[in-house]
Chains A and B, each alone.
Chain A
C-alpha cells in the first residue's frame, strides 16, 4: 500500500519558487487502480515523480511529507536504496512513447537492463540471471504485452515500432520485475483514441494478473471513468476531492469537479451548443492564493473562500472534499447553487 502524507514539493525557477505540490494526502490501496485527475500544472505529475524520486534534484525541493510504501518512507531512503525500489517495487510509464525509449539500444537490451539490474545476486555478488535467460524473459514479456512476433522484434530498435507498440514496450519494461505499484503518467495522452483503449485494456489485464496497484495520472475524465476505481481530483497543488469513481461521477461535491464534468462533450449534443468552459486561469503557484485555490474561478465562492483554505471534509465513507460549502455552517441554499 502506498500512502502519501502532507507532501509539499517546490521547484525553483527564474521567476521564483513554484509551490507545485502543496500538501497532498493520498492513499493507494493494494490491487486497485487510482486516478489523479487535474489540468496542466496542477501538480499531478510532480506528485507522481516524487514517489519515484525522479524529479530534477538541482531545482526541486521536498519541503515536507512522507511517502510510505508498505510502511517504508521513500523520502528517507538513500539514492542507493532508492535504486532498489525503482523498477523493482515501483514501475513507471511516461506520457510520450515516441521519446521515452533510448533510440540507440534495441528494445531487448532496454528490457533486459532492468531484469539484470534487479536479478538476485549470488554470494559473490554476481547476477544469477544470464544475459541469454534475460533475453528469453524479455521475449515472453513482449508476448505478454501482446506484441506480435516477439522473437524477432526483441532485436529491433525503437524507431521500428509505432507509438502504441512503443507504449507496450514501456509497459513491458515497467512490469518486468513484477512491481507492486505501477505509476502511469498520462500513458495514453499521446496515442490515438483506438490505441488508447487497447493500452488501457492491457494495463487493466496486467493489473489483475499481477495483483499490482496502478496510479494513473490523466487529464481525461473519459479515461478515469472506464479505468479507475478511485479518483483524486487535483487543483492548484492540492487534492480538492477524492472518492470512488462512482462517487465522483454521480455525486460530485467540489465546484471544480462539477465544472470539469460539465465540460465533457456529450454524445448527441446540439452542434450549435457551446461547450461549458471554466472561466479564468489556474492560480500562479509562485504566489499561491491564501484561501481556496479555486476561489477565483468558482461560481459559488464566498468571502471565506478568498482568505481561508478550507479543511478536508468527509462527505461519505471514502469520499472527501476540500470546500467550504461542505461546512455544516454553510447555508444550504448556497450549497444547492452549484448543482443548478
Chain B
C-alpha cells in the first residue's frame, strides 16, 4: 500500500508543523506576557512592602533572569506540568482547564451544531428560491448575525424571553416554570439562549457562504448535464448541487470549531456560565502568567488539531484533493 505509506508520511509532516506552531505560540506568549508592565503581584500601584514583594516573587521564581524562567517553563511543560495559577491560589492550570473546558466545549458544540444546520438550510433554501422572500430573509439574518454584537442580542433575548415571556407564562398558567432561564448552566432549557446567541455569527457566515456557493454550483454545466439525464429535481439538488456546494463551506466550518469551542467570554459572562472564557480574560488583567500561558497553549493545540482534522476530512470529501499527493 504505497498510498497508506504516503498518507502516514503526510500526517507525520503535519504533526511536526503543528508542534513547531505550538512552540512559536509558547515563545511569543511568554515574551509578550513579560513585556506587559507589572507582575502578578504588582500591576502598577501596590502598597505592598518591597521586601514582601521580593519574597513573593522569589517564591514563584520570578526573580530569576527571564531566559532562565523560560527554560524552566519549557522544562515543566515537557513534563506535562502547566504550573499553578497565581491568582487562584492552590489551583493548578490543568485542574482549571479540566473543570471549565467541558462547559465551554458543550456550549460551543451546541452552538456549532445549531449554527451548521440552520446556516446550511437557510443558505440552500435562499439559493433555491433566489430573489424570493426566503432569500431576502436570509440576507437579513446574515446582516443581523454579523453586525449585532452578542451582548446586545443576548441581553434583548434575556429581557424578552427570559423576563417578559416567563412573566406572561406566570400570569396565564400560574406556574414558575421558565422555558428560557436567564442565567446558569443546568439542564437543556438553560442551554437554549446562550447556544443560540453564540451560534448567530456562524449562522450568518455559513448562510452567506452556502448561498453563494449553491448559486455558483447551480449555474455549472454539470448540473445541466445531470438534468439532461432525466433525473428528478430533488436528485439534482441533493446529489449534484448540495454536495459540490458544501466543499468551500467545510473550510469555514473548520475555522469556526476553534472559535466556538474555546469559550466565549461575552456569552459566558452574560449567562453566568462557568466556562473557560472568564478565566482567560481575568488571567490577562491579573498578569497570571501561568494561567494565561497554559490556556493559550491549550487553545493553540486545540485549534491546530481541529484544523488538521478538517484538512484530513477535506481529502475524503473532495476527490480532487489527495492529501499525500499520490498519483493513481
**A interface with B by C-beta (< 8 Å):** 52, 54, 58, 79, 82-88, 91-92, 94-96, 99-106, 113-114, 117-118, 156-157, 159-160, 170, 173-174
Contact = CB atoms under 8 A, between A and B. Distances in A.
27 contacts: A52-B228, A54-B224, A54-B227, A58-B130, A83-B230, A84-B230, A87-B230, A88-B230, A94-B225, A95-B221, A100-B221, A102-B240, A102-B244, A103-B244, A103-B318, A104-B244, A104-B317, A104-B319, A113-B226, A114-B231, A117-B230, A118-B230, A156-B328, A157-B320, A159-B319, A170-B225, A173-B225
* Among A58, A88, A95, A117: residue with most chain B CB under 10 A: A117
Interface in B224-269: 224-233, 239-240, 243-244, 247
A86 B228 contact: yes
A106 B319 CA distance: 9
A160 B231 contact: no
A103 B320 contact: yes
Given A156-B328, A157-B319, A100 B225 contact: yes
A54 B229 CA distance: 11
A103 B319 contact: yes
B220 interface: yes
Interface string B213-229: 00000001110111111
A14 to B, nearest CB: 13
Interface string B288-306: 0000000000000000000
A43 to B, nearest CB: 18
B146 to A, nearest CB: 28
Nearest to B223: A102
Interface in B87-126: none
Given A101-B222, A103-B244, A173-B229, 18 more contacts: A79-B233, A83-B230, A83-B232, A85-B230, A86-B227, A86-B229, A88-B230, A92-B225, A99-B221, A100-B221, A100-B225, A104-B243, A104-B318, A114-B229, A114-B230, A156-B328, A170-B225, A173-B225
A105 B235 CA distance: 13
B233 A159 contact: no
B231 A54 contact: no
A159 B320 CA distance: 7
Nearest to A176: B229
* Among B224, B239, B320: residue with most chain A CB under 10 A: B224
A92 B318 contact: no
4 tightest Cβ-Cβ pairs between the two chains A and B: A86-B230, A87-B230, A87-B229, A114-B229
* Among B225, B227, B229, B247: residue with most chain A CB under 10 A: B229
Contact of B231 (A52, A83, A92, A94): A83
Contacts of B130: 58
Contacts of A106: 319
B274 to A, nearest CB: 43
Contacts of B317: 104
B231 A113 contact: yes
A84 B228 CA distance: 10
A314 B222 CA distance: 41
Contacts of A103: 222, 244, 318-320
Contacts of B224: 54, 94, 100
Contacts of B227: 54, 86
Contacts of A101: 222, 225
B48 to A, nearest CB: 65
A135 to B, nearest CB: 16
A91 B226 CA distance: 11
Nearest to A84: B230
Given A104-B319, A160-B328, A99 B220 contact: yes
Interface string B171-206: 000000000000000000000000000000000000
Contacts of B225: 92, 94, 100-102, 170, 173
Contacts of A170: 225
A100 B224 CA distance: 8
Contact of B222 (A102, A118, A159, A174): A102
A113 B238 CA distance: 13
B243 to A, nearest CB: 6
* Among B220, B225, B227: residue with most chain A CB under 10 A: B225
Contacts of A117: 229-231
A99 B222 contact: yes
Contacts of B226: 102, 113
B272 to A, nearest CB: 45
Given A101-B222, A159-B320, A92 B328 contact: no
Interface string B309-328: 00000000111100000001
A103 B320 CA distance: 8
A114 B240 CA distance: 13
